[in-house]
Structure 1
Amino acid sequence: MELRQMLNTLGHNGQVPAPPDALIRPIIEDFVAKGYNNPEIVTRLRRYYDTDAYNVLIDLLKKRHSQWGLKSAHGQAHTITSIGPAIECVQARFPKQGSHDMRQTLIHEEKIIVLRKLILCYMNLYHPEDIQACKSQHLKRSIYWTAGVNDIWVFDQHDKWRCFQLYLHVAIEPFLGCVLWLKIWWTNHNPRLICGWYCDTVETLGAMPLVTQSDPGSENNGIANGHTLLRHMQDPTLARTLQHKFKGQHCNIKPKIFWSKLQRRWTPGFEDILDCGINNGIYNPDDALERLVFHYVFILWLQHELDLFAEKFNNVKPRHNIHKILPHGRPNDIFYHAEDFESCDFSVKVDRTMLDAVRQTYAVPDHPVFCLVPHDFSQQASAFMAELGTRPVTQDNVWNIYADLLMCFHLIEEEEQIRELLTAQPPLPCDGDKMLGSEDLPIVDLPPFVEGSGPGGKNNSDAEEEQSDDASSDFYEFDWTDDEP
């Protein structure tokens, strides 16, 4: 009797009790929203509670799903008719998405869990031409080598929206393809701006990679200098060596692959929206006032949409590739828990004081390039927006909001303060001139990074080379016709 009472203090039938619902419910809901199945949730949930005091079994998880209304694809019981409105909504935003991406978008943004087979049935019934267009794409394969997580970070800019005066920039962890940042701004040619994004990411993660890499170009000198300075402060033995690799055309391949994916999966719908403004005479990029209003309204909205795409990209398990030796799984899972996938994490912990010193040297926060629009213009625009009434920006009303705000500025355009503000704007660049927002920042005078000096280099020991051959090769499919020019 005493033994039975002692066992029952652990929980029903002597089992370890479940964690409190308040502790695990937000985590489980997040996992469900990201498309994890029950065994995956049970395994990952153990990181969030004391396993000696609590335990979660699949049976308990299924019971909580029922109590909290968290339904799987079977539980939601969608039909071709019921998923129609959601698919049409996603199709309007992303007209080039395939069924795999469509399913993930429905999960992450519409909270609808549905099988790909049902999506394909709907698309074949109502959008057969889109299915044929996806099947007609031809890809070429390329090989990429890397040693492990945070061995190297790679960066690249994207100027194909220059006609709108919008510029993109991305940072990729190439071992697993994780997006570190995906930015849109009124320039991507200022080295202090790019270095600022790097410092923000390092501060968030509390760590940096061994080496950074980019295309040749002065806009990357800020990251090259800042990362080199951080590495020197952390490890004085690296002094007199640049800890950044500059790669020529078609050598910095991983960001190029990402731009190709973004161009197919995300860009078309939003590009149609932007084209609408220019084609209908609503927006003239050569007009200083219209350009400022456009940046004020569109950049923050597009950044939110890009953040959603990057989050989905990092939390979706890619299709299994028999040619790929690197670990298979969701990029974020591998990035934060490399040991669970038999991978090495080469990240270097960064002291906050060192990072602040780099930021003050190469990316001072009060530099004008970090301002979306000039301060006085921003204050006036905020006042006008308050008068117009706060409205969430969507693809359906974004041009209406732009037009209303532009009209408010036109009413006071003759005022001296506005005239001075507009005449102070830098002119748009012409062919052969420097890009808007660009700045000369010389690279530090150091010998270049030597291939083979890192864990995945060519001149490593035999043991390191064997490890790289067995666990660090990757085979990617890539359409070179979508590459950056």
Structure 2
Amino acid sequence: MANFRYVSWQDNEDLKSDMTKYVGQCVKRKEILDFLKRNFPQYSWSIASIDRRLRHFNIFYTDLHTTVEQVEAAIKKELCGSGQLLGYRAMHKKIRQAYHLHVQRDFVYNIMSRLDPAGLRNRTVGVKVKKTKDCFVSKGPNWVHSIDGHDKLMGYQNSTFPLAIYGCLDTASRKLLWLRIWTSNSDPQRIGKWYYEHLCETKQMSTYLRMDKGTETGVIATMHSYLHQHHNIHEDEPTDTVIYGPSTSNQIERWWKELHERLEKYYKRKLLFLKEEGHYNPHTETDRYILAFVFIPILQRELDTFKEVIWNSHRIRCQKNTVLPHGIPNHIYSFPDKYDLEECGWIVNDDQLDEIFNHAKLDNVADDFLEADFRAKCEAIIPATENISPEDCVEAYIYIKQNFKV
């Protein structure tokens, strides 16, 4: 029986995949130990056993066989797209995770300083004046989730481009829980559906939701309050679990700046080019739908990558005048006891989820932002939007518009 714990770890592809992922994210071995103990409890774990198994799988923090040419080619590709807005730290994480090139950060810095010296200087700490940050306090993961919409890509009066983002952030760990892009972020049922999908995935809800008091948050606030009726352990009334306030004091609002600086500026230039050169008319329904057909899938992929590769796996450094812990958001969220925090979430079951789905009438929420026949016409011209790269999105839009038959 004693040997059963060690059976077949050498052939466990899930274990190999997880270890590769954490090393690619530059997670420290003591932090990897926490994840592996949780995910693979059938094996015994220690720092020494991690080292042995990493060697067995040929996984190394630094791959000495990686060439300068490989890294340079990857960085050049990123600099042609939205990666041109990334600093060398974020670029280093993306190179390691998206391209599986395990090199040191200085290696990436040296190549970027040669390929993009001006951009590197502009992103240097101290170039921009930083505003004083608010000090957030939280008991632990899932104590307060901060949700908000983001309209920077939509342009003048939030109506020029049909590209609206909505997201949710855990205030204790600063982990991004979900990000969605759609043609609008003002439909309360649509936002409620996104919240429902998150609950179905995690089977856990936060103690409090922090949001703006707008028409778009009505359904999600009602869903959250309704679910809390099943948990009467704390003294709050169910409706008190929703905290309203302006966006400026909502923690996710600070994160939108990160997204804008490191991703959105690249796409804003492309969108403005289409408009200023006469390729796109915001008052024409066909133009708006074609733009959504091309850009929304690309931007959703970019948001997913930014969430997991750039943000949730980066290491938050120790900051002045803050009581929140420093570390990797994924690790803080998963192991709050390591940071003198506590898990504050509440379990939700399938029956409760079915109740809110039916009460909120979420089955009426469309699964697509386009009508089926319009999408079919676009797909007849470009069948697979997943093959459109970020640098080709402008050309793809123009090509579809030129060949589109109303």
TM-score above 0.5: yes
Counterparts in 2 of 1:141 and 1:95: CA distance versus 1, 3 Å: same
Aligned to 1:480: none
Q: Does 1:329 align with 2:317?
A: no
Distance 1:51 1:357, change over 3 A: closer
Per the alignment, residue 216 of structure 2 pairs with 219
Q: Distance in 2 between matches of 1:269 and 1:126?
A: 18
**What stretches of structure 1 of length at least 5 have no aligned partner?**
1-5, 414-485
1:138 and 2:135 correspond = no
1:87 corresponds to which residue? 75
Task: Using the TM superposition, give the Cα deviation of residue 53 of structure 1 relative to its aligned residue in structure 2, in angstroms.
Answer: 6.6
**Pair 1:113–1:52, CA change in 2 (3 A):** closer
Write the deviation string for residues 71-97 of structure 1: whole angstroms up to 9, x where unpaired. Answer: 432524544x55322222222323232
- Kept in 1: contact 2:336–2:342 (CA 8 A): yes
Shift of 1:246: 1.0
In the alignment, what sits opposite 2:116?
A: 127
Q: Is the 8 A contact 1:231 1:238 kept in 2?
A: no
Aligned to 2:362, the other structure's residue is in SS state coil
Q: CA deviation at 1:396?
A: 3.3
2:145 to 148, 153, 177: 153
Deviation at residue 141 of structure 1 after TM alignment:
2.9
Question: Could you report, residue by residue, the CA deviation over 1:19-56 in whole angstroms, capped at 9, with x for unpaired residues?
Answer: 23225222222223323345544453233334567877
1:399 aligns with 2:394: yes
Quote the residue 1:314 is aligned against. 312
User: What SS is found at the alignment partner of 1:183?
Assistant: strand
SS at match of 1:245: strand
Q: What's the TM-score once normalised by structure 1's chain length? A: 0.73
Instruction: Name the CA distance, whole Å, in 2 between partners of 1:216 and 1:210.
Output: 18
Hey, what's the Cα distance between the residues in 1 that align with 2:211 and 2:386?
A: 39
- Assess if the C-alpha contact under 8 Å between 1:158 and 1:168 holds in 2: yes
Question: What is residue 447 of structure 1 aligned with on the other side?
Answer: none
CA offset digits 1:327-376 (Å, max 9, x no partner): 332211222232343320110111222222212222513334x5311233
Q: Does the C-alpha gap of structure 1 residues 121 and 407 become closer, same or farther in structure 2, counting only changes over 3 Å?
A: closer
Q: Partners in 2 of 1:239 and 1:38 — Cα distance?
A: 43
Cα shift at 1:392: 0.7
Sort the Cα spacing of 1:213 and 1:117 in 2 relative to 1 into closer, same or farther, 3 A: same
Q: Distance in 1 between matches of 2:98 and 2:6?
A: 36
SS at the partner of 2:52?
helix
Q: Where does residue 196 of structure 2 map in the other structure? A: 199
Which amino acid letter does the alignment assign opposite residue 399 of structure 1?
Answer: V
Q: Measured at CA, do residues 82 and 110 of structure 1 come closer, stay the same or move farther in structure 2, by a change above 3 Å?
A: closer
Aligned CA distance change for structure 1 residues 396 and 317 (closer, same or farther; 3 Å) = same
C-alpha distance in 2 between matches for 1:132 and 1:199: 43
Preserved contact between residue 234 and residue 350 of structure 1 (Cα < 8 Å) = no
Amino acid at match of 1:375: A
Question: Amino acid of the residue matched to residue 109 of structure 2?
Answer: L
Which residue number corresponds to residue 9 of structure 2? Answer: 19
Structure-1 residue corresponding to 2:157: none
Residue of 245, 269, 272 corresponding to 1:272: 269
Query: Is the contact between residue 138 and residue 324 of structure 2 (CA under 8 Å) also seen in structure 1?
Result: no
Equivalent pair of 1:224/1:242 in contact (CA under 8 Å): no
- Which shows bigger deviation, 101-110 or 38-47? 38-47
Match of 1:230?
A: 227
Distance 1:62 1:292, change over 3 A: closer
Q: Could you report, residue by residue, the CA deviation over 1:141-177 in whole angstroms, capped at 9, with x for unpaired residues? A: 3211122111111111111222222111111111111
Q: What is the letter of the counterpart of residue 101 of structure 1? A: A
The answer for the alignment partner of 1:294 in structure 2 is 291
Partner residue, 1:32: 23
Aligned pairs (5 A) from 1:456-475: none
| Contact map agreement 2:145 2:171 (CA 8 A) in 1 | yes
Give 1:199 deviation, angstroms: 1.0
Relative to structure 1, the CA distance from residue 139 to residue 50 in structure 2 (aligned partners, 3 Å threshold; closer, same or farther) is same
More displaced stretch, 328-337 vs 124-133: 124-133
Q: Is the 8 A contact 1:78 1:114 kept in 2?
A: no
Root-mean-square deviation (Å): 2.9
Number of residue equivalences: 393
Q: What fraction of aligned residue pairs are identical, expressed as a percent?
A: 21
TM-score, normalised on structure 2?
A: 0.86
1:154 corresponds to which letter in structure 2? Answer: S
CA distance in 1, matches of 2:192, 2:380: 32
- Structure 2 residue identity aligned to 1:193: R
